[in-house]
Amino acid sequence: MKPYTIDFDLLTGICKSGKVQPVQRRVSQMKMQFADPEAAQKAIDSGDPVLYEFSTLLNDEKKGTLAFGSTIIYPGKIGDEYYMTKGHFHTILDSAEVYYCLSGKGFMMMETPEGDVDLQEVHPGEALYVPGRWAHRSINHGTEPFVMLFVYPGDSGHDYGTIETKGYRKLVVERDGKPVMIDNPKWK
């Protein structure tokens, strides 16, 4: 591979030259991961909004490479739960990841297979280091799109199934206008 340069917009995270098409995820792709599937169904029936999109600017999946890109989580709620990403472990569990917040604000919800839980809030100009072994999910509790740059080892892989089956131990919901972390009643 040769060195190369690629653009992406700092505010939207979008690759303006169109070299990379974002992956979009809508409510219908995550219905059962929300605490309130009836609220999710209502959102699906009224247009199935895009919850988030991400552009992987490079990932050739080889050992020694770095995958990188940007992710945008839109503002909104399903019931009282904020828009969020699916979340995943890396298939090579020890693979770490760095996120850098470009605009908006939000949380990263993280947990290990052993049951440690950590919630970090990030703002523009802050970097977040997600160590290996920690599943990670981005949550937008703000009113603007929450945009982050991410970088991780190219051979990490993505294990979505564990989170899809078990859920996260904790959720972030709005109570009296403020975000609070609660136990996930559906966690298995």
What does the binding site for ligand F6R look like in residue numbers (CB under 6 A)?
25, 54, 69, 71, 85-88, 97, 136, 138, 150, 152
Amino acid identity of residue 72, one-letter, is: I
Closer CB to ligand F6R, 108 or 178, in the complex: 108
> Which structure tokens are listed for 96?
């770490």
Shortest CB 136 distance to ligand F6R, Å: 6
Cβ neighbour number for residue 129 with a 10 Å cutoff: 10
Closer CB to ligand F6R, 160 or 187, in the complex: 160
Closer CB to ligand F6R, 69 or 145, in the complex: 69
Shortest CB 141 distance to ligand F6R, Å: 16
Q: Mark out the alpha helices in 46-119 (DSSP H runs).
A: none
Q: Which residue is listed with tokens 């060195």?
A: 3
**CA nearest neighbour of 77 among 174, 146, 12:** 174
Report yes or no: 40 and 74 within 8 Å, Cβ to Cβ: no
> Which structure tokens are listed for 86?
């699916």
154 binds, among ligand F6R, Mn ion, none (CB under 5 to 8 A by kind): none
Q: Pick the stretch among 27-35, 55-63, 96-104, 175-183 that binds Mn ion (CB under 5 A).
A: 96-104
Closer CB to Mn ion, 43 or 128, in the complex: 128
Q: Which residues contact residue 27 at a Cβ distance below 8 angstroms, ignoring those fewer than 6 apart? A: 34, 40, 43, 44, 48, 49, 51, 78
Shortest CB 158 distance to Mn ion, Å: 7
Selected from 97, 137, 154, 179, the binder of Mn ion by CB under 5 A is 97
Report yes or no: 78 and 117 within 8 Å, Cβ to Cβ: no
Residues near Mn ion (CB under 5 A): 97
